[in-house]
Copies of this chain bind each other. A is one copy, B any other.
């Protein structure tokens, strides 16, 4: 039977039966303190982080080798180097865990990696089962690659007297972490251990062709020092009767002392304790997932909405983009997970707004913050605040006091730790609404000679990073984003009953809209902007995707203007797997545009199908009531688009981009998986626009934008303590949202705990 990868919706897992996808497929496992990656074979990195300080835990192979005493064969049960004829071999991508199961010559091995819900810890479990008819005598080897060194050649790896642990210690001069100790511990007394990569695999060997101790099947049981490359390896001698199973559990942890590291790594090694951690991980994820469940004929959409987009958003929620947390990324993430976890959204928003300067402009990044004059930060604030208020219905949040960063945002441009900028206490503060307003004030007073918002060092498109450095260039996209933000601000001011400011913002919006329509439209579409030199980016020669989608998102001009802009996109940016970020790609590096123009054609911001941009367009299509286009957008950027079979993307996580049709050598490939704002916007496009279940301050609205042939579907949405059960019925006659057979605009709130049945009819002709 051909291997068949599939979503297991019941268990919220993705099962990989083809272990050799075009490129390695990643799983991420994390809690607040640890993040780990695992490719399908379990290889990957792990680190802990506090503030800007990162402490590596492991990186490289995680492997279970088997030495069969009868056949004298040594093989990897989890990597299967050399393609041995395994009877079965598969990986399970789980939420917070990763498992590889293989079966070879009568021995089944299941290897599980689990990041528990808390602690600087990673857990592993090896389950070995004799599925043959005779006794099997084997040695199991667990191998990973802890990274104890915090500075140059200062680490030890050595056995702990408990007989079940290896301790890696690092006590260096002026090292940058307090977590000087790692420990790797086992539930069972191992028959041997190894700390040195070279001794384990051999100086001239490798994980693929082990020489050294592993190659001979015997570990040295020695510590090591001055080692660039440590391993954590244990051997276990097993003798299994037919049908017998052996279960070994291990833990890796970082701590400030040897004792604490031993304790943390050993804390969940009993069967019961491990099971408890397991249950905690699986139940934790699922509680937020229950807040929105869809069932439709599109099984991939069901799996992505119900499980995987949430999971990807959740990685952003905890770990940003891994290399750091951009202000704009955090704000967009908050917007998208406000419906899943409103309390955390509120907390993170409160935290983020404290990194807005008194002039209204926020920092660029938290970890690290580099002082480069990006300009778009404030434009994302109203949307995030509105999301939180809409989900909770709690207007008092607008009155919460949050401090500002002292000074103005343009003081200095350098790489700094934002957390260290200013003692929290000494800051001036303002309400959440004041933060929103100061943001708008900043944007609407940072205007150039055409009355458009200054480009500065860049906006969402942070690769157009040299178009406005001289303080003259103006961004039409940012002006549109500001217009959108002003309208969201007006909505917030309505909730707050602040008519005076609302009128003021209306005025600002009107002026800005006029300026954009006057200077930003060329040949029926919106340009990206006018740089310091006065050169127009966009126009006859080139069209950019995002200004058109944001024209719609901001509701600028009349319907015809917006329709026309989007039609231009369909005509000029479309390809078989989405829409190019700009078309055609730029041919030549331009120091007055910046990095984007130096990228190769079809790559990243220079003409790739940048998925974040396509997700913006999905919402724009919905606002224009173009359901076929919206759904087609989604199908085009999906892993299973038959027109782009070589995309290589994980079915359970969107990538940052697909290389564009003008890419010279790698059209359609989708590198850079998981860490992208795409997930949040696709999630909102599907849940709030395609299926149309949109939270507002007044309550939940349902305004779907479903293609005619989408068929029946249902959504269960938890909202302010109520459960809404929404049935979608395609209809040739009826349209609209009904509760108890009464057409409604906003769904009735009822009482806490109520289950409210909703029927939505949508046109199928």
Give the B-binding residues of A (Cβ under 8 A): 20, 22-24, 81-82, 153-154, 156, 158, 171-173, 198, 203-204, 206, 208-209, 222-226, 465-466, 589, 591, 594-595, 597-600, 603-604, 659, 663-666, 669, 671
Given known A209-B82, A466-B173, contact A600–B665 (CB-CB < 8 A): no
- Listed by A's residue number, 10 A-B pairs whose Cβ atoms lie within 8 Å are A82-B209, A153-B603, A156-B664, A173-B465, A208-B208, A208-B209, A223-B664, A224-B666, A225-B603, A226-B603
Given A24-B203, A223-B664, A664-B223, is A209 in contact with B81 using a C-beta cutoff of 8 Å? yes
Closest to A590 in B: B173
Q: Is the CB of B600 within 8 A of A226?
A: yes
Do the beta carbons of B225 and A663 come within 8 Å of each other? yes
When the two chains form their complex, are residues A589 and B82 in contact, meaning their CB atoms are under 8 A apart?
no
The reply to whether B171 and A23 form a contact with Cβ atoms under 8 Å apart is no
Question: How close is A616's CB to chain B, nearest CB, in angstroms?
Answer: 23
Return the chain B residue nearest A203 by Cβ: B23
For A206, list chain B residues within 8 Å (CB): 206, 208
Chain B residues with Cβ under 8 A from A24's Cβ?
A: 203
| Interface contact A659-B208, CB-CB below 8 Å | no
Integer count of this chain's copies in the complex: 2
Known contacts A209-B81, A595-B173; A659 and B226 CB within 8 A of each other: yes
Which residues of B lie under 8 Å from residue A156 when comparing CB positions? 600, 664
Q: Assuming A81-B209, A153-B604, is B226 touching A589 (CB within 8 A)?
A: no
Considering the chains assembled together, what is the distance between the CA atoms of A204 and B20 in angstroms?
A: 8
Q: Which of A226, A597, A598, A671 has the most CB of B within 10 A?
A: A226
A191 vs chain B, min Cβ distance (A): 21
Given contacts A172-B598, A598-B154, contact A666 B81 (CB under 8 A): no
Q: How far is the CA of A26 from the CA of B570 in the complex (A)?
A: 59
In the bound complex, how far is the Cα of B81 from the Cα of A208, in angstroms? 11
Question: Chain B's nearest CB lies how many Å from the CB of A527?
Answer: 21
State in angstroms the CA–CA spacing of A334 and B465 once bound together.
47
Verify A171–B598 contact, CB threshold 8 A: yes
Query: Hey, which chain B residues are within 8 Å of A226, CB to CB?
Result: 600, 603, 659, 663, 666, 669, 671
A569→B343 CA distance, assembly (Å): 69
Cα A603 to Cα B149 in complex, Å, equals 15
Q: Check A664–B466 contact: CB distance below 8 A.
A: no
A324 to chain B, nearest CB (A): 14
Instruction: Tell me which residues across on chain B come within 8 A of A603, comparing CB atoms.
Output: 153, 225-226
Residues in B neighbouring A82, C-beta threshold 8 A: 209
A224 touches B22 (CB 8 A): no
Residue of B nearest to A206 (CB): B208
Across the interface, A223 reaches (CB within 8 A) one of B173, B589, B665, namely B665
Nearest chain B CB to A101 CB, angstrom units: 19
- Complex Cα distance, B599 from A153, in Å, reads 8
**For the complex, what is the distance from the CA of A669 to the CA of B153, rounded to whole Å?**
14
Q: Kindly state the separation between the CA atoms of A663 and B24 in the bound complex, as whole angstroms.
A: 41
Q: In the complex, A69→B597 CA distance in Å?
A: 47
Closest to A24 in B: B203
Choice from B23, B222, B598, B664 contacting A665 with Cβ under 8 Å: B222
CB of B599 within 8 A of CB of A154, answer yes
Q: Is the CB of B594 within 8 A of A173?
A: yes
Q: A154-B599, A209-B209, A222-B665 are in contact. List 20 more A-B contacts (CB 8 A).
A: A20-B203, A22-B203, A153-B599, A154-B600, A171-B589, A172-B589, A172-B598, A173-B465, A173-B466, A173-B598, A206-B206, A208-B208, A208-B209, A223-B665, A224-B665, A224-B666, A225-B600, A225-B664, A225-B665, A226-B663
The complex places the Cα of A24 from the Cα of B198 at a distance, in Å, of: 12
B173 touches A589 (CB 8 A): yes
Q: Chain B residues with Cβ under 8 A from A599's Cβ? A: 153-154
CB-based nearest B residue for A207: B206
- Closest 9 pairs between A and B when the two form their complex, measured CB to CB: A173-B595, A173-B598, A225-B600, A172-B598, A224-B665, A225-B665, A223-B665, A226-B603, A20-B204
